[in-house]
A and B are shown apart, each in its own frame.
Chain A
Amino acid sequence: MRRLYFVILLLVLLAACKSTTVDQQVGAVNMSFVHQVNGSPLTLNTTTYTNKSGEAFTISKFDYFISNIRLIRADGSAYTVPQDDSYFLIRSNDPTSQTFTLTGVPAGDYAQIEYMVGVDSLRNTADISRRKGVLDPGSSHTSGMYWDWNTGYIHLKLEGTSPAAPVDATGARNFRYHIGLFGGYQSKTINNLRTVRVPLGISTGTSRLSVGPNLRTTLQIIADAGKLFDGPTPFKIADYPDVMVSPFSGNVANNYATMFSFGFSSAVSQ
């Protein structure tokens, strides 16, 4: 008799929650972004690195948006993180910004993660009511990653000092890379949005990230800021100490699009 009651209770519960969580197996992925420069940990301001052109430099700021995240299965099908939950601003001086959790991920195995570096053109032209959280141009968090004079978000910012950079008005030798532009609203501009895919393992063939209701899934992605100088189009700080709204910004975007790699993943039963 008691078993019958339990069955009835279960049926009522199932009916109540059909469309939400009970019948769909989901899990969460704890994401973290770890910053390096040419394979060494990124330390702001104090550590000197050297690019392949032989120029020494330090980094004072390394911030970027990650958006439109998709988890791709081995068969090519994918889970797309809901749009409104898919914007993250990673800041090198704010450890809490470097980790976030994707919830509601359908259970299963995933082979690759895909995301955009920057803010897509639709959200870049959206009504102010759809610019919340890290996209709020009035928030101190977003401050510095939004161009108020050229409506749009800065996809990625790298700043620092280098003896190779020319002396600026303050006597400092600074470099600044502020890469934005999403293709334009009413007329064409450069489009510096880049979508990257990272295999979820050491090699594409063996990559696998398991997600499920009883799993604690962790994924670490490495972002190597050194690639900004030494990507497909290597350049010297001396030649391009400041890149913002110029055609060369496309090369910088192509370079940093290669900076992401798989760190490690784990899926532990809980």
Chain B
Amino acid sequence: MKGIPNFWMALATQRQPATGLLLCLSLGIWLAVSCKHSAGDEAVVPTQPAFTTTPYPWKKPANFPDPVYDLTKNPLTVEGVALGKALFYDASLSKDGTITCAFCHSPYTAFAHTDHPVSHGIRDQQGNRNVPGIFNVAWGKTFFWDGGVTDLDLLPIAPIQNPVEMGETMSNVLQKVQRSSRYRPLFQAAYGSDTVTTERFLKSISQFLLTMVSANSPYDKYVRKEAGASLTDAAGRGMVLFQANCAGCHAGALFTDGQYRNNGLPRLTNAKIDDRGRAMITAQDADKYTFKVPSLRNVERTFPYMHDGRFQTLEQVVNHYAAGIQDNPQLDPLLKKNGRIGLSLTAAEQADLVQFLRSLTDSEFITNPEFQPR
């Protein structure tokens, strides 16, 4: 204790020049250091114990293009994926605790929903559109039938807050997750902290969704020339027909060009709403009644079909393109070539096309236990 009064006395009186000089210098240095601290926001003393994560071995299939999603902004970890999976199968994300993400996106149907033409949510409410499957989202330029969501990380907010789907608010969901003792170790493992933030919540769900890569259908093995891979004769004929008639829109390894097109579906007279599709997002006349071209991977399992779920079978779908298209101002030019509306396909050709579409079913993906609830 004695040293302190002496120090202050020296400061107050400054009898000895050398002491004064030293004091001034040390005070200056101390101020300089403290000044630096206040200027730089990175000067945080590490209080958390060091934690490590295990990188998730995400691989681009050989026959796929580079992903659209920037994996460097959200590096996949085993722990992050596990957290995302837990959230995907958690009904507390919905208002009344009845609806999980998997409720509409079942792993057994390539993460689509096959019981209803359109999505349904809490309190048996029905939505307006058919539930799409979830796979290969790393290559998605936009999401939903109208492309309204432009970033995978922002996607879960929409079904969570949609009153006819999960009907909850993001802030409530984040609070519920923060309060749950179950999530503390999961967040700790993934992020080194059990604090739930919007970013961590959303990016961990993205991580789980990004692992859903479907690229092992008989067709994939055939085009990768894997040992023993082959297509049936009918599917082979169907593939030739597909490339000539369908690949203009269902393009490339993803079987979609990601664009918005009108495929001449007649208006359903008893439709609940006048669904103007992409135009509801852009308010551009040219986008009226156009919808995003869906991937055809796993299409055999993701019935019903079309944005409003009007078709139950692939035969109905193929027949629509051959005989059901209705001309309209927005009809895609590829479906109106040389003055002919629709595609010229005989019944036998239609059957071959369906066989080709069935060759796009990736059973390994659909039965992969990594994607299924524990």
Measured CB to CB, the residues of A under 8 A from B are: 1-2, 5-6, 8-9, 12-13, 15-17, 19-20, 125, 127-129, 131, 136-140, 143, 146-151, 181, 184-190, 245-247, 249
Contact = CB atoms under 8 A, between A and B. Distances in A.
Given A2-B20, A128-B199, A246 B28 contact: no
Nearest to A125: B150
Interface stretch (B140-148, B209-217, B247-255): B140-148
A45 to B, nearest CB: 23
Task: Tell me whether chain B's interface is mostly helix, strand or loop, or mixed.
Answer: helix
Contacts of A143: 169-171
A202 B194 CA distance: 53
A138 B201 contact: yes
A4 B66 CA distance: 67
Interface of B: 14, 17, 20-21, 23-25, 27-29, 31-33, 35-36, 38-39, 73, 141-142, 144, 147-151, 153-154, 157-158, 160-162, 169-171, 173-174, 197-199, 201-203, 260, 280-284
A17 B30 CA distance: 12
B56 to A, nearest CB: 19
Nearest to B14: A2
B41 to A, nearest CB: 11
Contacts of B198: 128, 131, 136-139
Contact of B151 (A17, A139, A151): A151
A254 to B, nearest CB: 15
A7 B19 CA distance: 16
Contacts of B283: 181, 189-190, 245-247, 249
A246 B35 CA distance: 53
Nearest to A140: B171
B32 A13 contact: yes
A129 B149 contact: no
A6 B24 contact: yes
Given A131-B198, A149-B162, A5 B20 contact: yes
Task: Tell me whether chain A's interface is mostly helix, strand or loop, or mixed.
Answer: loop
Contacts of A5: 14, 20-21, 23-24
Nearest to B143: A151
B28 A137 contact: no
A135 to B, nearest CB: 10
Residue of A137, A138, A189 with highest tally of chain B CB at under 10 A: A138
Contacts of B24: 5-6, 8-9, 12
Contacts of A16: 28, 31-33, 35-36
B39 A150 contact: no
Contacts of A125: 150-151
B137 to A, nearest CB: 15
B157 A245 contact: no
B25 A8 contact: yes
Contact of B32 (A15, A127, A138, A140): A15
A166 B173 CA distance: 35
A149 B154 contact: no
Contacts of B142: 185-186
A35 to B, nearest CB: 25
Nearest to B276: A245
Contacts of A13: 28, 31-32, 35
A177 to B, nearest CB: 14
14 contacts: A8-B25, A9-B24, A9-B27, A128-B153, A128-B202, A129-B199, A137-B154, A137-B198, A138-B170, A148-B149, A149-B162, A189-B281, A190-B282, A249-B283
B157 A138 contact: yes
Contacts of A190: 282-284
Contacts of A151: 148-151, 154
B154 A8 contact: no
A8 B21 contact: yes
A231 B150 CA distance: 33
A12 B30 CA distance: 10
B18 to A, nearest CB: 11
A19 B170 CA distance: 41
Given A15-B32, A16-B31, A17-B35, A186 B150 contact: yes
Contact of B282 (A8, A12, A139, A189): A189
A138 B171 contact: yes
Contacts of A148: 149, 154, 157-158, 160-162
